[in-house]
Structure 1
Amino acid sequence: MVLFGIIIALIIAIIFSGLVTVQQGNVAVISMFGKYQRILPPGLNFKIPFFEQIFKVISVQNRSIELEFQAITQDQANVYFKSMLLYSVINQDEETIKNVAYKFIDEKSLMQTIVRTVEGSIRSFVATKKQSEILGLRKEIVEYVKDQIDQIMEEWGYHLQDLQLNDITFDEAILKSMSQVVASNNLKAAAENEGQALLITKTKAAEAEGNAIKIAANAEREAAQLRGQGVALFRQEVAKGMTDAALEMQQANLDTSVILFSMWTEAIKQFGEQSNGNVIFLDGSADNMQKTLQQMMSINKLKVKS
Structure 2
Amino acid sequence: MEGSGFPLAGIILLAILGLIALVTLLKTLYTVRTSQAGVVERFGKFHRIVRPGLHVLIPYAERVFFVDLQVQQVQFSVETKTRDNVFVQIPVSVQYQVVDDKVFDAVYRLSRPQKQIESFVFNSILGHVPKLTLDETFEQMSGISIAVKTELDHTMHDFGFNILTALVTDIIPDSKVKEAMNDINAAQRSQVAAMARGEADKILKVKQAEAEAESKALQGRGIAAERQAIIDGLRASIEHFREAVPGATAEDVMALVLLTQYFDTLKDIGIRSGTNTLFLPNNPGAANDFLQQILAGLRAGTHRGSMGESATK
TM-score (ref. length: structure 2) = 0.70
**Residue 172, structure 1, aligned to residue 175, structure 2:** yes
Local SS of the residue matching 1:162:
strand
Q: How does 1:258-273 map to 2 (within 5 A)?
A: none
Inter-partner Cα distance in structure 1 for 2:257 and 2:103: 127
**Alpha-carbon deviation of 1:63?**
1.9
**Alpha-carbon deviation of 1:207?**
0.9
Aligned residue number for residue 86 of structure 1 = 95
Aligned residue number for residue 118 of structure 1 = 121
Deviations 1:199-247 (A, max 9, x none): 111011011111111101211221222122112111111111121xx6x
Aligned residue number for residue 307 of structure 2 = none
Local SS of the residue matching 1:76:
coil
Local SS of the residue matching 2:41:
strand
**Residue 142, structure 1, aligned to residue 145, structure 2:** yes
**Residue 22, structure 1, aligned to residue 44, structure 2:** no
Inter-partner Cα distance in structure 2 for 1:88 and 1:272: 108
Counterpart residue identity of residue 42, structure 1: P
**Alpha-carbon deviation of 1:77?**
1.0
Local SS of the residue matching 2:91:
strand
**Alpha-carbon deviation of 1:25?**
3.3
**Alpha-carbon deviation of 1:88?**
1.4
**Residue 42, structure 1, aligned to residue 69, structure 2:** no
Local SS of the residue matching 1:61:
coil
Inter-partner Cα distance in structure 1 for 2:44 and 2:75: 35
**Residue 99, structure 1, aligned to residue 108, structure 2:** no
Local SS of the residue matching 1:156:
coil
Inter-partner Cα distance in structure 2 for 1:99 and 1:217: 95
Inter-partner Cα distance in structure 1 for 2:205 and 2:240: 51
Inter-partner Cα distance in structure 2 for 1:99 and 1:115: 18
Inter-partner Cα distance in structure 2 for 1:86 and 1:268: 103
When structure 1 is superposed on structure 2, of 196-205 and 62-71 the one drifting more is: 62-71
Distance change (3 Å), C-alpha of 1:267 and 1:133:
closer
Aligned residue number for residue 135 of structure 2 = 132
Counterpart residue identity of residue 92, structure 2: S
Counterpart residue identity of residue 217, structure 2: K
Q: How does 1:45-64 map to 2 (within 5 A)?
A: 45-54=55-64, 56-64=65-73
1:76 counterpart (68, 75, 85): 85
Contact 2:238/2:253, CA 8 A, preserved across alignment: no
Distance change (3 Å), C-alpha of 1:15 and 1:271:
closer
Report the number of matched residues: 258
Inter-partner Cα distance in structure 2 for 1:39 and 1:271: 122
**Residue 67, structure 1, aligned to residue 106, structure 2:** no
Q: How does 1:108-257 map to 2 (within 5 A)?
A: 110-243=113-246
**Alpha-carbon deviation of 1:169?**
1.1
Deviations 1:251-299 (A, max 9, x none): xxxxxx9x99x9899789769856953885798xxxxxxxxxxxxxxxx
Distance change (3 Å), C-alpha of 1:269 and 1:44:
closer
Counterpart residue identity of residue 195, structure 1: G
Inter-partner Cα distance in structure 2 for 1:154 and 1:219: 87
Of the two structures, which has the highest relative contact order with CA contacts closer than 8 Å and spacing of 6 or more?
1
Distance change (3 Å), C-alpha of 1:22 and 1:277:
same
**Alpha-carbon deviation of 1:11?**
8.1
Deviations 1:38-85 (A, max 9, x none): 11223321133344343x332212222220221211212111122332
Local SS of the residue matching 1:223:
helix
Counterpart residue identity of residue 233, structure 2: G
Distance change (3 Å), C-alpha of 1:102 and 1:231:
same
Instruction: Give the alignment's Cα RMSD to 1 decimal.
Output: 3.5
Aligned residue number for residue 253 of structure 1 = none
Distance change (3 Å), C-alpha of 1:88 and 1:177:
same
Distance change (3 Å), C-alpha of 1:173 and 1:97:
same
Structure 2 gaps, min length 5 = 1-9, 267-278, 293-313
Local SS of the residue matching 1:37:
strand
Q: How does 1:1-12 map to 2 (within 5 A)?
A: none
Inter-partner Cα distance in structure 2 for 1:264 and 1:87: 108
Structure 1 gaps, min length 5 = 247-256, 284-306
Give the % identical residues: 21
